[in-house]
Amino acid sequence: MLYFIVRPVVRYVFKYYFRDIQLSGLENIPKNGAVILAANHPTGFLEPCIMACFQSRNLHFLARGDLYKNALATATLRALNILPVYRLKDGGFGKLRNNFSTFDDCFRVLSDRKAVMIMAEGSCIHEKALRPLVKGTARIALGALEADATLPEVYVLPVGVNFTRAERVRSDVMIRCGEPILASDYLRGYRASPNAALSEFTRHLRQRLQPLIVQFPSRGVSAAGEILLDAHRPATLDREIELAAKTDQHVETAGKLATLLQQTGVEMGAVAGATEGVKSKDILARPIWELALSLVAVLIQLPIFPIWLLAQYIATAKVNTIEFYNPVRFTVVAVSTLVLFPIGLLVLPWLFKIWIVLAVLTVKPAIRQWEKIYEWHQQRKFEQLEPLDKSQLIKHYQAIQMSSVEESQVRTST
């Protein structure tokens, strides 16, 4: 019951928390039958939340066992279809034995022809790369078939999850589901030689995940790669995958542009705007009624500000790893929306109740207005730079654009 109450609220918050959420390949998810969605793991826990909200199957998923601290936490997480996975640091080998119970729970879910989402890498690292996969996905898929002789198939879908900037609010999310792997193809080998079959299944899954994920050639070029991608946005997932793979060829140009951006304090969007002839005066040059609506939209959001401030404080002051900045920030916003606003509707005078409802319903257009103002500020900041700084920024921006275009033309001609 709690799962179905929480999902529409979280889905609504996602729609304004991220600038854009693109999902492709959803038609590859069987509408019936046992399914495992096997994804990469760039953030703490946003990937399964997004998939739970934006595809039709009800999902069960796995989370760190240390979240199950007491009876209330356990009951809440279970009500949200979240099952525990214990690590050695969560309580030694004694806790690790609890994973056998979790595997049994997954087998039952799959036996009931339901869907499970698994983070196939096993651990969360904030980087644009596919790390080695653990064998848990293969073990659960083949274990479910072995445990239930009436279960005809377990479909294992590779799911590539990509964020433009996973640590930031209002980044873009691009998720692509590949075609399913049939676990039954490995069952005979699993019965003959379990370890060999698990390794082969995992190798195949990694092979199928590779083309779905934006990946830099190495960690050493990731900073240059982010600049390269920023310079070409907005872009399709295919284009981002293509650009990221060629980062080695643009390290020098991207490095020069990154240095200039840092020295001047402007952002890529302002340089792109100037290159296209955008002026700051044009950004806010709108009819007076539209400006008035913008002011009203911002004022309506006053009840929301404390929540965003709290979310930002907790994410930056209380979280030690970048992988959890955005998940924790998002959780504070979502939980506040789910809990505090209903309380406010019960206890506050009717005028404030109307204000709260309007605030919740107008978050997305209000954020767009704030972004428009920020865009104006950045463009204005660019225009106030010294002429030499402006010309250098445009020069290096155009150089990185041109080199990518020429590279694509060469590849096409060959």
89 and 106 fall within a common domain: yes
- pLDDT of 271 reads 96
Query: What pLDDT is recorded for position 24?
Result: 97
- Reported as a pLDDT band with limits 50, 70 and 90, residue 93 is low
CATH code for position 66: 3.40.1130.10
Give the pLDDT mean for 337-350.
Answer: 86
**Position 49, amino acid:** C
Q: What is the pLDDT of residue 361?
A: 86
Total structural domains within the chain: 2
pLDDT at position 210: 97
CB 327 within 8 A of CB 45: yes
- Ranges of beta strands (E only) in 69-147 are 82-85, 115-119
> How far is Cα 224 from Cα 69, in angstroms, rounded to an integer?
41
Q: What is the DSSP string of 140-188?
A: HHHHHHHH-TT---EEEEEEEEEESSTTSTT-EEEEEE-PPEEGGGGHH
User: 404: pLDDT confidence band, cut at 50, 70 and 90?
Assistant: low
**Which residues lie closer than 8 Å to 158 by C-beta, 6 or more apart?**
38, 39, 177, 178, 181, 205, 208, 209, 212
For residues 269 and 400, state if they share a domain. yes
In eight-state DSSP terms, residue 133 is: P
Check whether residue 63 and residue 180 sit in a common domain. yes
Alpha-carbon Rg for the chain in angstroms: 24
Question: Same structural domain for residues 341 and 381?
Answer: yes
- Would you place residue 283 in the very low, low, confident or very high pLDDT band (cuts 50, 70, 90)? confident
On average, the pLDDT of the chain sits at 90
Lowest-confidence segment of 75-89, 270-284, 362-376 by average pLDDT: 75-89
Instruction: Judge if 64 and 155 occupy the same domain.
Output: yes
pLDDT at 285: 77
Mean pLDDT (whole number) for 337-366:
87
Residues 47, 169 within the same domain: yes
Least confident of 87-96, 148-157, 162-171, 231-240: 87-96
Task: Tell me if the bond preceding 158 is cis, omega within 30° of 0.
Answer: no
Q: Supply 358's token pair.
A: 């309007």
More confident site: 34 or 412: 34
Domain boundary among 152, 187, 215: 215
Per-residue pLDDT at 45 exceeds 60: yes
Average pLDDT in the 131-147 region?
Answer: 96
pLDDT in tens, 109-137: 999 999 999 999 988 888 999 999 999 99
Helices assigned H by DSSP within 288-324: 288-300, 305-317
Closest to 209 in 3D by CA, of 241, 167, 243, 184: 241
Token pair of 278, please? Answer: 């955008």
Residue 99, both tokens: 């994973």
pLDDT-based confidence at residue 88 (cuts at 50, 70, 90) = low
Instruction: Kindly indicate the confidence band of residue 267, based on its pLDDT and cuts at 50, 70 and 90.
Output: very high
Q: Tell me: do 271 and 238 sit in the same domain.
A: yes
Q: What is the residue range of 72's domain?
A: 2-215
Residues 357 and 398 in one domain: yes
pLDDT band at 261 (very low <50, low <70, confident <90, very high): very high
Last residue of a domain, one of 190, 215, 240: 215
pLDDT for the residue 296: 81
Domain-ending residue, one of 177, 200, 215: 215
Do 152 and 169 lie in one domain? The reply is yes
Does residue 210 sit in the same domain as residue 224?
Answer: no
DSSP H or E run through 37: strand 34-39
**168 and 233 in one domain?**
no
Average pLDDT over residues 217-237: 94
CB 46 within 8 A of CB 186: no
Question: Are 187 and 263 members of one domain?
Answer: no
